[in-house]
């Protein structure tokens, strides 16, 4: 069922070319580019062009007023001496490293709980998914801030159990847990994808394992994990990349400043502040390119290491 473009091309070229076919091919090429035009235009004008420009700008000092001034690698070298930049890296990395696995663990655990033929499964699935739809909105950021504020429901709930943390919003060591809870709360989207993946695992595998006397833990590691690994990989990759780019909720929760004490100064927020608040567009462009490079490297590492733990159906084991 997998039709990759490569396969199609191979089968097409295996037939000897006929004059009529080659005319057809020319027509196809024209039609192909015509249909592709909207995307191609957008790709060149909105992605490739701007990427080249921002690469150029990243080597300049550019404040929007005066023409860009070429300064070579200065922006990049300054970055690593900029304490705020290093702080933003720290904030973002801890968000990605703690938030993403927690979110995916919750998603997987709950997907496994829901993966049964019980009544109400559809309802739970929808209910758990809902936060993913609204989680990135300004409204939710506002509500989150109110909920975790002084004498908000979270503070009161914890006080009931004798834990007096006060409001989380103003406490530099509690804002990160708060942001992580906000992303974990949106476990619904990866959960639904996990659930679809779990349904693909043939039931007889589990039955056979049961007969061999395998317990739930062994079944999980011997069947569920390897069979689900492509889906886990997909979710991990997408969630990690998304986590690097968090912006709106951090902006709203910290009043656009990344406080308290820089504890919510996410990478993209600092990039925005540097570019659009301090007007250091060259510096911000350097930050953007560094992000592209880092995300690229992480993607590469993911794909490289995936060979050892991701099993696609049809692979020989």
Tell me which residues in 90-109 interact with other proteins (CB under 8 A).
none
Shortest distance, position 115 Cβ to other proteins, whole Å: 7
Q: Residues binding other proteins: what is the number (CB under 8 A)?
A: 151
Nearer to other proteins, 3 or 316 (CB): 3
Nearer to other proteins, 101 or 166 (CB): 166
CB 121 within 8 A of CB 114: yes
- b/e for 94-113, b at 16 or more Cβ within 10 A? ebbebbbeebbebbbebbbe
Task: Read off the DSSP letter of residue 315.
Answer: -
Pick one of 76, 98, 124, 225: the residue that binds other proteins (CB under 8 A): 124
Our finding on whether 114 is near other proteins (CB under 8 A) is yes
CA angle, residues 156, 158, 162, in degrees to nearest 5 = 110
Instruction: State whether residue 243 is helix, strand or coil.
Output: helix
Instruction: State whether residue 96 is helix, strand or coil.
Output: helix
Shortest distance, position 151 Cβ to other proteins, whole Å: 5
Nearer to other proteins, 98 or 129 (CB): 129
Our finding on whether 68 is near other proteins (CB under 8 A) is yes
Contacts of other proteins in 240-279 (CB under 8 A): 241-242, 244-245, 247-248, 251-252, 255-257, 259-262, 268, 271-272, 275-279
Residues in Cβ contact with 198 at an 8 Å cutoff, skipping those fewer than 6 apart: 111, 112, 115, 224, 228
Shortest distance, position 98 Cβ to other proteins, whole Å: 19
Q: Which two tokens stand for residue 138?
A: 């300004």
**Rounded CA gap, 277 and 271, in Å?**
10
Contacts of other proteins in 130-169 (CB under 8 A): 130-140, 142-144, 146-147, 149-153, 156, 166-167, 169
Q: How far is CA 272 from CA 50, 145, 238, 266, in A?
A: 16, 21, 23, 10
Our finding on whether 1 is near other proteins (CB under 8 A) is yes
Our finding on whether 201 is near other proteins (CB under 8 A) is yes
Our finding on whether 83 is near other proteins (CB under 8 A) is yes
Our finding on whether 18 is near other proteins (CB under 8 A) is no
Other CB atoms closer than 10 Å to residue 33's CB: what's the count? Answer: 10
Shortest distance, position 220 Cβ to other proteins, whole Å: 12
CB 215 within 8 A of CB 173: no
- 165: enclosing H helix or E strand: none
Our finding on whether 188 is near other proteins (CB under 8 A) is yes
Shortest distance, position 283 Cβ to other proteins, whole Å: 9
Pick one of 218, 221, 292, 305: the residue that binds other proteins (CB under 8 A): 292
Nearer to other proteins, 180 or 288 (CB): 288
Helix/strand number for the chain, H first, E second? 17, 2
């Amino acid at each position: 069922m997998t039709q990759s473009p490569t396969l199609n091309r191979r089968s097409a070229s295996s037939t000897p070319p006929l004059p009529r076919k080659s005319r057809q091919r020319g027509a196809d090429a024209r039609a192909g580019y015509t249909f592709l035009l909207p995307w191609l235009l957008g790709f060149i004008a909105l992605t490739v062009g701007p990427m080249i420009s921002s690469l150029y700008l990243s080597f300049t000092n550019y404040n929007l007023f005066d023409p860009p001034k070429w300064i070579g690698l200065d922006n990049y070298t300054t970055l690593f001496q900029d304490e705020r930049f290093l702080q933003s890296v720290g904030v973002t990395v801890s968000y990605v490293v703690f938030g993403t696995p927690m979110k995916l663990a919750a998603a997987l655990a709950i997907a496994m709980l829901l993966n049964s033929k019980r009544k109400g499964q559809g309802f739970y699935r929808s209910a758990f998914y809902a936060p993913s739809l609204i989680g990135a909105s300004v409204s939710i950021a506002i509500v989150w801030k109110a909920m975790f504020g002084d004498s908000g429901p979270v503070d009161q709930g914890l006080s009931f159990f004798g834990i007096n943390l006060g409001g989380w919003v103003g406490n530099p060591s509690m804002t990160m847990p708060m942001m992580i809870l906000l992303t974990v709360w949106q476990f619904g989207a990866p959960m639904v994808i996990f659930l679809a993946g779990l349904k693909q695992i043939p039931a007889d595998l589990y039955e056979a394992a049961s007969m061999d006397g395998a317990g739930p833990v062994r079944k999980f590691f011997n069947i569920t994990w390897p069979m689900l690994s492509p889906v886990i990989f997909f979710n991990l990759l997408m969630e990690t990349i998304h986590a690097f780019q968090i912006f709106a909720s951090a902006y709203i929760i910290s009043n656009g400043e990344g406080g308290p004490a820089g504890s919510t100064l996410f990478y993209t927020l600092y990039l925005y502040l540097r570019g659009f608040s301090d007007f250091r567009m060259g510096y911000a462009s350097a930050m953007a390119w560094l992000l592209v490079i880092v995300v690229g490297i992480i993607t590469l590492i993911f794909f490289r290491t995936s060979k050892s733990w991701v099993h696609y159906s049809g692979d020989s084991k």
